[in-house]
Amino acid sequence: MIAVLDYGIGNLRSAEKALQLVGGDARLVSDPEAASGATGVVLPGVGAFGACARALQQSGLGTVARRAAAEGVPFLGVCVGFQLMFEGSEEDPDEAGLGLLEGTVRRLRGTVKLPQMQWNLTEQVAGVPSVMFAPFSEAPWFYFVHSYAPVPTGAGESAVVATCDYGGAVVAAVEQGNCWGTQFHPEKSGRSGLRLLGAFVQRCNGAVRLS
């Protein structure tokens, strides 16, 4: 079972249905106890960082995300859920992220139109192996909707596996052991998104279960 964390933010059905389409037994989970036994955890998110961080904490599901990361259970953060994997965001400096990766979420720089709301070519970082991007022989296109993106520091820098170009290089995806994250929306990215989600579902098959 893949637990899609439902903490009252946005429409999570699209993520659930996309995972089901590629063979995952995905279920929306709003009670932390209901996530026990999951072989995968997905943290979607839309809107403002602070609102998502507060809702995640109030729901108790932040502990599920941290347990998944610590216990080696496959974990995927999407859009603001991806941003929550980091320590914090300049969008809402008073709210802390999960701290799974070192770095801060910052507003996109330059003179580009915000938000980035478009399909964009996503390039894998040369020389960095990635299970997430293994299904792709060519650089895939994904759908982005965001005005902020993580700027990893320290050990977080080595987790970056893909970037896109939007007024400069923007971190598009990270992968560190069992923890994956995408700034783009795979559930809105057609075949490319389904292929990536399929790789995540395969990663969940036979994985350690959440305590």
Catalytic residue ranges: 79, 185, 187
> What is the SS3 assignment for 50?
helix
Task: Note whether 86 and 103 are within 8 A (CB).
Answer: yes
Cis peptide before 44 (omega within 30 of 0): no
User: Please, what is the end-to-end C-alpha distance for the chain in angstroms?
Assistant: 13
Alpha-carbon span 142 to 111, nearest angstrom: 22
Copy the structure tokens of residue 124.
């894998």
